[in-house]
């Protein structure tokens, strides 16, 4: 058999990556999330390749419109994906209600769902993970006023306590509008997880179109995922615009920084600024102490090497 084309290899790589997360894909999703092609292929080309390629027929399996690797058990995840989608709808409803409160903060520019919620692939144990963009010199006060009511109401993740919290809000990633270039946060020269993370964000609040700037600034992601255009603010998530409460003054920013740093758990304090897992500064607050990007990359490489032969 002849050597696979670039498009065939890109389709194969894409399914290998999503196999790590037990996430079967439709043909459209394969096109959208096409991994590292030499150029941006259109949907017709991807559809023709999947349908007619003898090489891909030996590598892939299809059921009910979803594709996986041929020997991948992920076809059994199709029903599970439907269940997780319904679970994500419940979480988005809660996030939609919370967004009314978010709008009260004048320094908050963008709120977007992230991780499994962005993929509509959550379980009862999943957090409502958020990415927050703030005005410069307001990152600490914004986080303080966002987190405080959820902490008081017990709706924050309880990772080290034997306490069950339904759909906790996880405020683990903040940047200012001046620090949205994320290439410096890559865990390695090639960080596929971060690339997919950026393109999968679902905007819930977007003031002054700052969310689109996130994509335009991170052009390095377009090389990895040329077909993955940034998601738009969907009418389902839009809220009526509310007034903002002018409760954030730069005079007290250092106080909010002092209060929060004193209450960091030891796992965060010990890892702060040692690498890209935990970043603590006046421009970026990133608290991913259980970062598994290296593990995901290793699994992807193992699957690729196993299935390519």
pLDDT for residue 36 is more than 90: yes
Tens digits of per-residue pLDDT, 222-234?
999 999 998 888 7
Q: Contact 139/283 with Cβ under 8 angstroms?
A: yes
pLDDT for residue 249 is more than 90: no
If asked whether residues 113 and 33 sit together in one domain, one would say no
If asked whether residues 46 and 85 sit together in one domain, one would say no
Predicted pLDDT at 247: 64
pLDDT for residue 1 is more than 60: no
If asked whether residues 159 and 104 sit together in one domain, one would say yes
Predicted pLDDT at 25: 96
Predicted pLDDT at 239: 58
3-state secondary structure of 69: strand
If asked whether residues 13 and 105 sit together in one domain, one would say no
If asked whether residues 139 and 207 sit together in one domain, one would say yes
Using left for φ > 0, alpha for ψ between -120 and 50, and beta otherwise, residue 154 falls in left
If asked whether residues 213 and 245 sit together in one domain, one would say yes
Place of tokens 């390519």: 308
Q: Contact 230/195 with Cβ under 8 angstroms?
A: no
Quote the CA–CA distance of 9 and 307 in Å, as a whole number: 12
Percent of the chain exceeding pLDDT 70 equals 92
pLDDT for residue 302 is more than 90: yes
Q: Contact 87/123 with Cβ under 8 angstroms?
A: yes
Predicted pLDDT at 283: 97
Strand order in the sheet with 284-287: 202-206, 108-113, 128-134, 169-176, 284-287, 278-280
């Amino acid at each position: 058999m002849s050597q696979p084309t670039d498009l065939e290899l890109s389709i194969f790589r894409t399914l290998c990556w999503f196999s790590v997360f037990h996430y079967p894909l439709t043909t459209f999703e394969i096109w959208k999330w096409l991994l590292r092609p030499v150029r941006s292929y259109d949907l017709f080309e991807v559809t023709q390749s999947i349908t007619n390629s003898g090489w891909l027929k030996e590598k892939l399996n299809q059921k009910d419109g979803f594709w996986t690797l041929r020997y991948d058990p992920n076809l059994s995840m199709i029903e599970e994906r439907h269940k997780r989608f319904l679970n994500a709808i419940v979480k988005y409803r809660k996030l939609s209600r919370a967004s009314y409160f978010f709008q009260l903060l004048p320094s908050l520019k963008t709120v977007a769902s992230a991780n499994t919620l962005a993929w509509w692939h959550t379980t009862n144990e999943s957090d409502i993970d958020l990415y927050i963009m703030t005005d410069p010199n307001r990152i600490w006060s914004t986080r303080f006023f966002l987190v405080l009511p959820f902490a008081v109401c017990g709706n924050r993740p309880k990772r080290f306590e034997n306490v069950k919290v339904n759909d906790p809000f996880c405020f683990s990633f903040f940047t200012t509008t001046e620090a949205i270039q994320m290439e410096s946060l890559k865990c390695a020269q090639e960080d596929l997880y971060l690339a997919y993370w950026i393109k999968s964000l679902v905007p819930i609040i977007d003031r002054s179109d700052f969310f689109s700037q996130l994509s335009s600034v991170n052009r390095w992601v377009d090389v990895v995922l040329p077909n993955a255009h940034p998601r738009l603010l969907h009418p389902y998530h839009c809220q009526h615009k509310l007034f903002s409460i002018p409760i954030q003054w730069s005079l007290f920013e250092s106080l909010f920084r002092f209060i929060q740093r004193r209450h960091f758990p030891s796992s965060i304090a010990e890892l702060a600024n040692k690498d890209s897992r935990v970043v603590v500064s006046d421009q970026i607050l990133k608290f991913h102490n259980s970062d598994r990007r290296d593990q995901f990359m290793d699994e992807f490489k193992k699957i690729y090497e196993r299935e390519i032969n």
